[in-house]
Amino acid sequence: GENVEQHPSTLSVQEGDSAVIKCTYSDSASNYFPWYKQELGKGPQLIIDIRSNVGEKKDQRIAVTLNKTAKHFSLHITETQPEDSAVYFCAGHTNAGKSTFGDGTTLTVKP
Protein backbone atom coordinates (compact mmCIF):
# COMPACT_ATOMS: atom_id res chain seq x y z
CA GLY A 1 0.00 0.00 0.00
CA GLU A 2 0.88 3.67 -0.08
CA ASN A 3 3.50 4.96 2.31
CA VAL A 4 4.10 8.66 2.97
CA GLU A 5 7.22 9.63 4.90
CA GLN A 6 7.50 13.12 6.38
CA HIS A 7 10.59 14.92 7.68
CA PRO A 8 11.51 16.44 10.02
CA SER A 9 9.26 15.37 12.88
CA THR A 10 10.01 18.60 14.75
CA LEU A 11 11.19 21.95 13.46
CA SER A 12 12.01 25.08 15.41
CA VAL A 13 12.67 28.38 13.66
CA GLN A 14 13.05 32.00 14.60
CA GLU A 15 10.24 34.37 13.65
CA GLY A 16 10.85 35.69 10.15
CA ASP A 17 12.88 32.67 9.04
CA SER A 18 11.73 30.12 6.49
CA ALA A 19 10.55 26.59 7.25
CA VAL A 20 10.69 23.61 4.91
CA ILE A 21 8.96 20.26 5.41
CA LYS A 22 9.52 17.36 3.04
CA CYS A 23 7.49 14.28 2.15
CA THR A 24 8.04 11.27 -0.06
CA TYR A 25 5.37 8.89 -1.32
CA SER A 26 5.44 5.41 -2.80
CA ASP A 27 2.19 4.93 -4.75
CA SER A 28 2.42 6.09 -8.36
CA ALA A 29 -1.40 6.28 -8.39
CA SER A 30 -1.32 9.21 -5.96
CA ASN A 31 -2.31 12.31 -7.87
CA TYR A 32 -3.31 14.88 -5.27
CA PHE A 33 -1.07 16.14 -2.47
CA PRO A 34 -2.57 18.41 0.18
CA TRP A 35 -0.91 19.94 3.22
CA TYR A 36 -2.85 20.36 6.44
CA LYS A 37 -2.27 22.42 9.56
CA GLN A 38 -3.61 21.02 12.81
CA GLU A 39 -3.84 23.11 15.94
CA LEU A 40 -4.41 21.65 19.38
CA GLY A 41 -7.91 20.33 19.84
CA LYS A 42 -8.94 20.94 16.23
CA GLY A 43 -9.26 18.96 13.06
CA PRO A 44 -6.72 19.39 10.24
CA GLN A 45 -7.19 22.44 8.05
CA LEU A 46 -6.21 22.46 4.39
CA ILE A 47 -3.60 25.17 3.77
CA ILE A 48 -2.38 24.40 0.26
CA ASP A 49 -2.51 21.56 -2.23
CA ILE A 50 -0.99 20.48 -5.51
CA ARG A 51 -2.05 18.08 -8.23
CA SER A 52 0.28 15.68 -9.98
CA ASN A 53 0.28 17.66 -13.24
CA VAL A 54 1.68 20.78 -11.54
CA GLY A 55 5.24 21.31 -10.30
CA GLU A 56 4.80 24.28 -8.00
CA LYS A 57 2.06 26.33 -6.39
CA LYS A 58 2.24 29.42 -4.22
CA ASP A 59 -0.24 31.18 -1.96
CA GLN A 60 1.18 34.26 -0.22
CA ARG A 61 3.80 32.99 2.29
CA ILE A 62 3.16 29.32 1.56
CA ALA A 63 4.40 27.31 -1.41
CA VAL A 64 4.42 23.65 -2.35
CA THR A 65 6.69 21.92 -4.87
CA LEU A 66 6.22 18.48 -6.39
CA ASN A 67 8.79 16.26 -8.08
CA LYS A 68 6.69 13.49 -9.56
CA THR A 69 9.69 11.56 -10.90
CA ALA A 70 11.37 11.43 -7.50
CA LYS A 71 8.01 11.08 -5.71
CA HIS A 72 8.61 13.84 -3.26
CA PHE A 73 6.90 17.10 -2.40
CA SER A 74 7.73 19.91 -0.03
CA LEU A 75 6.04 22.69 1.92
CA HIS A 76 7.80 26.04 2.16
CA ILE A 77 6.70 28.72 4.62
CA THR A 78 8.46 32.08 4.38
CA GLU A 79 8.52 34.93 6.89
CA THR A 80 7.25 32.63 9.63
CA GLN A 81 5.09 34.06 12.40
CA PRO A 82 4.30 32.67 15.89
CA GLU A 83 0.78 31.81 14.72
CA ASP A 84 2.30 29.40 12.19
CA SER A 85 3.21 27.16 15.15
CA ALA A 86 1.20 23.94 14.76
CA VAL A 87 1.47 20.37 13.51
CA TYR A 88 1.67 20.09 9.73
CA PHE A 89 0.69 16.97 7.78
CA CYS A 90 1.31 16.05 4.18
CA ALA A 91 -0.90 13.51 2.43
CA GLY A 92 -1.26 11.61 -0.82
CA HIS A 93 -4.64 10.82 -2.35
CA THR A 94 -5.69 8.56 -5.20
CA ASN A 95 -8.77 8.44 -7.44
CA ALA A 96 -9.64 5.14 -5.76
CA GLY A 97 -10.62 7.10 -2.67
CA LYS A 98 -7.57 6.16 -0.60
CA SER A 99 -5.69 8.69 1.51
CA THR A 100 -2.34 8.35 3.25
CA PHE A 101 -0.98 10.91 5.69
CA GLY A 102 2.53 11.52 6.92
CA ASP A 103 3.25 11.35 10.64
CA GLY A 104 3.35 15.12 11.01
CA THR A 105 5.86 17.89 11.70
CA THR A 106 5.58 19.98 14.84
CA LEU A 107 6.62 23.50 13.86
CA THR A 108 7.54 25.96 16.57
CA VAL A 109 8.15 29.59 15.61
CA LYS A 110 9.99 31.48 18.34
CA PRO A 111 9.23 35.19 18.69
- Residue numbers of the site for another protein (CB under 8 A)? 1, 4, 6, 31-32, 34, 36, 41-46, 49, 89, 91, 93-104
Q: Which is nearer to another protein, 17 or 98 (CB)?
A: 98
Shortest distance in whole angstroms from residue 32 CB to another protein: 5
Neighbouring-strand partners of residue 67: 72
Give the count of beta carbons closer than 10 Å to the beta carbon of residue 84: 19
Shortest distance in whole angstroms from residue 29 CB to another protein: 11
Name which of 84, 87, 92, 77 is nearest 9 in CA terms.
87
